[in-house]
């Protein structure tokens, strides 16, 4: 055990980063390499959302309740959240290329096992395994792209990586719904097989002679157990809090206490252990610290919008899951078009300006959503989602460049794993917060609106008389009136939550300007410390 006093001070000079072990890949190999890595990233991120729309079908086929079926989602997220921050240690121990390829192959195998499951316990177990082995895939895909692209084109590499991370969750529900409707649910897992085999074969063929150095460090058992308990409890709390009424449930309260104690112990242990399993000293680098905060909070707000919009469309506006997915999908159009342009010109503008522009657009579109009402058409919903695609490009690419600037090559995998861990965790937090707020605000407004209706009131009597003239009388009329109250309450709550998201984006601009140029090339030695 060493002490925290032995750690370098924030502004202490760092040794020069060693030169990369290998030159960039030849230009003619970059396209096939990029496709393979991008597909593996797309496949892993897709699996975080593709099963969501299939849960009712899976639950029915396996003869369990829909609530039990949600463990298909929770088990995957729980396992992935635990392993992602371990990416740096695993890559140092076994090599980045070998870790990435084995992770892709095991993910492909676990996907096939999920499709073959014949009971819920089997499926949940295989999904947990799938989440465990998927942990290093996304962080190492980012690291390998940056290491094997020439420095002048690393902005483009970051753009390509960002596109896959953003587009996959958007198309996951669409693809999952289509497969469930037109085939059988196991195919949402079987489709990973050709993608995974192609990605693993291509990556190993191109990179097997470009393996990174390995170091046989002792396993930090105490840190690993603390991470498992702390992160596992936190993820379970976020996944089930809204269903169990949060801290009114002894289960959620217990998970919260365990998460706080476990994570506090984990942080203290990792900062004082001689061979930590997670390199928390990365937060001593100014750009990584504030860049990761901006990334986590920005992604939390963006993901909250992505969750709230289809929730409102399906429960209030009467959209089917497929049409709700279609309404939210336009964000990917400009993201695909603008991201390469941002990546190509990333060295020509202040990255803080680009990130600030993203937050302004996100905030403006969140306010735009807050102006919608029950008569809003799908065409009007398309427009702000379309505009958000521009913000997506200016958010992910500059922020990732900022937080990785100054990170030494040998710490890239650890930095990518840690930043992706906070991004993934913030997505879970955004989902938990937005669904809880929306439910509670809807209930509050429902009570307030109902207080204004009385049996002999002019407004309610007039409305019920109109319904009766149309053939809807008695209990049916009262039920329809209650439905109108609920829809209006949910609409007001939706507007309020979008307002709150807009304010959060405005506040986030300040975090970006706490970083310091030069930002240089991601993975280079320059950057604010």
Structure confidence at residue 310 (pLDDT): 81
d(CA 154, CA 138): 17
Structure confidence at residue 1 (pLDDT): 40
Structure confidence at residue 183 (pLDDT): 78
As a whole number, mean pLDDT of residues 323-330 equals 80
Please tell me which residue, 198 or 303, carries the higher pLDDT value. Answer: 198
As a whole number, mean pLDDT of residues 149-154 equals 82
Q: Is the pLDDT of residue 69 over 90?
A: no
Question: Are 202 and 91 a contacting pair, CB within 8 Å?
Answer: no
As a whole number, mean pLDDT of residues 157-178 equals 75
pLDDT band at 322 (very low <50, low <70, confident <90, very high): confident
Q: Is 405 helix (H, G, I), strand (E, B) or coil?
A: strand
Task: Mention every residue, 6+ apart, whose C-beta is less than 8 A from residue 286.
Answer: 10, 514, 515, 516, 527, 528, 529
The model's pLDDT over 73-116, given as tens digits with 9 standing for 90+, comes to: 778 877 888 888 888 888 888 888 999 999 999 999 999 999 89
Q: Is the pLDDT of residue 503 over 50?
A: yes
The model's pLDDT over 264-301, given as tens digits with 9 standing for 90+, comes to: 998 998 888 878 888 888 888 889 999 999 999 999 99
Find the range with the poorest average confidence among 52-56, 324-328, 378-382, 507-511: 52-56
The model's pLDDT over 198-207, given as tens digits with 9 standing for 90+, comes to: 999 999 999 8
d(CA 290, CA 298): 12
Structure confidence at residue 297 (pLDDT): 93
Find the range with the poorest average confidence among 166-180, 221-235, 507-521: 166-180
Find the range with the poorest average confidence among 5-19, 196-210, 229-243, 362-376: 5-19
pLDDT band at 146 (very low <50, low <70, confident <90, very high): confident
Q: Is the pLDDT of residue 308 over 50?
A: yes
As a whole number, mean pLDDT of residues 468-477 equals 58
Q: Which of these, 285, 405, 416, lies nearest to 355 by C-alpha position?
A: 405
Structure confidence at residue 461 (pLDDT): 63
Q: Is the pLDDT of residue 346 over 90?
A: no
Find the range with the poorest average confidence among 116-120, 310-314, 390-394: 310-314
As a whole number, mean pLDDT of residues 323-352 equals 83
The model's pLDDT over 5-27, given as tens digits with 9 standing for 90+, comes to: 333 444 433 433 343 456 788 88
Residue 522, beta-bridge partner list = 405
Q: Is the pLDDT of residue 475 over 60?
A: no
Question: Are 184 and 193 a contacting pair, CB within 8 Å?
Answer: no
Sequence-distant contacts of 276-279: CB under 8 A, at least 24 apart: 276/220, 276/223, 277/86, 277/89, 277/219, 277/220, 277/223, 277/224, 277/227, 278/85, 278/86, 278/88, 278/89, 278/223, 278/227, 278/414, 278/418, 279/88, 279/89, 279/411, 279/414, 279/415, 279/418
Please tell me which residue, 220 or 475, carries the higher pLDDT value. Answer: 220
CA distances from 270 to 222, 276, 410, 432 (A): 9, 5, 19, 28
Question: Are 115 and 273 a contacting pair, CB within 8 Å?
Answer: no
Question: Are 327 and 372 a contacting pair, CB within 8 Å?
Answer: no
Q: Is the pLDDT of residue 472 over 80?
A: no
Structure confidence at residue 506 (pLDDT): 93
Question: Are 193 and 111 a contacting pair, CB within 8 Å?
Answer: yes
Structure confidence at residue 526 (pLDDT): 43
Structure confidence at residue 463 (pLDDT): 61
pLDDT band at 151 (very low <50, low <70, confident <90, very high): confident
Please tell me which residue, 377 or 240, carries the higher pLDDT value. Answer: 377
Q: Is 9 helix (H, G, I), strand (E, B) or coil?
A: coil
As a whole number, mean pLDDT of residues 332-344 equals 83
């Amino acid at each position: 055990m060493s002490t925290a006093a032995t750690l370098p001070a924030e502004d202490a000079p760092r040794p020069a980063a060693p030169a990369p072990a290998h030159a960039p890949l030849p230009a003619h190999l970059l396209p096939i390499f990029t496709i393979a890595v991008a597909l593996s990233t797309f496949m892993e991120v897709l699996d975080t959302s593709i099963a969501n729309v299939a849960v009712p079908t899976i639950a029915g086929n396996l003869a369990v309740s829909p609530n039990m079926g949600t463990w298909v989602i929770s088990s995957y997220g729980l396992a992935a959240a635990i392993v992602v921050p371990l990416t740096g240690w695993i890559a140092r121990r076994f090599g980045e290329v070998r870790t990435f390829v084995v992770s892709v192959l095991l993910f492909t195998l676990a996907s096939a096992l999920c499709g073959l499951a014949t009971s819920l316990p089997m499926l949940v177990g295989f999904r947990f395994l799938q989440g465990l082995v998927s942990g290093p895939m996304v962080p190492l895909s980012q690291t390998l792209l940056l290491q094997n692209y020439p420095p002048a084109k690393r902005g483009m590499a970051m753009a390509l990586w960002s596109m896959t991370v953003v587009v996959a969750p958007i198309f996951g529900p669409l693809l999952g719904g289509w497969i469930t409707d037109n085939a059988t649910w196991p195919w949402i897992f079987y489709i990973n097989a050709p993608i995974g085999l192609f990605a693993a074969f291509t990556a190993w063929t191109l990179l097997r002679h470009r393996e990174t150095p390995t170091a046989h460090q002792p396993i930090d058992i105490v840190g690993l157990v603390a991470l498992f308990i702390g992160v596992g409890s936190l993820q379970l709390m976020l996944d089930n809090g809204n269903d169990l009424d949060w801290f009114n449930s002894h289960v959620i309260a217990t998970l919260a206490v365990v998460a706080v104690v476990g994570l506090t112990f984990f942080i203290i242990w990792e900062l004082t252990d001689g061979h930590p399993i997670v390199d928390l000293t990365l937060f001593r680098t100014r750009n990584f610290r504030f860049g990761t905060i901006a990334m986590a909070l920005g992604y939390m707000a963006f993901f909250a919008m992505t969750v709230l919009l289809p929730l409102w469309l399906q429960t209030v506006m009467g959209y089917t899951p497929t049409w709700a997915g279609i309404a939210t999908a336009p964000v990917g159009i400009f993201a695909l078009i603008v991201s390469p342009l941002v990546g190509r010109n990333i060295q020509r503008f202040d990255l803080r300006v680009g990130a600030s522009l993203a937050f302004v657009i996100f905030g403006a579109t969140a306010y735009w959503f807050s102006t919608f009402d029950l008569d809003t058409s799908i065409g009007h919903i398309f427009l702000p989602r379309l505009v958000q695609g521009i913000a997506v490009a200016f958010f992910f690419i500059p922020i990732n460049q900022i937080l990785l600037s100054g990170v030494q090559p040998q710490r890239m995998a650890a930095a990518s794993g840690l930043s992706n861990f906070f991004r993934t965790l913030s997505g879970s937090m955004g989902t938990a917060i937005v669904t809880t707020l929306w439910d509670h605000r809807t209930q509050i407004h429902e009570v307030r609106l109902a207080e204004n209706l009385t049996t002999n009131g002019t407004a309610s009597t007039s409305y019920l008389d109109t319904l009766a003239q149309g053939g809807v009388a008695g209990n049916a009329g009262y039920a329809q009136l209650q439905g109108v109250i609920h829809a209006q309450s949910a609409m007001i709550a939706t507007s309020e939550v979008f307002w709150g998201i807009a304010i959060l984006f405005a506040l986030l601009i300040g975090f970006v300007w706490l970083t310091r140029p030069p930002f240089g090339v991601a993975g280079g030695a320059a950057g604010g410390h």
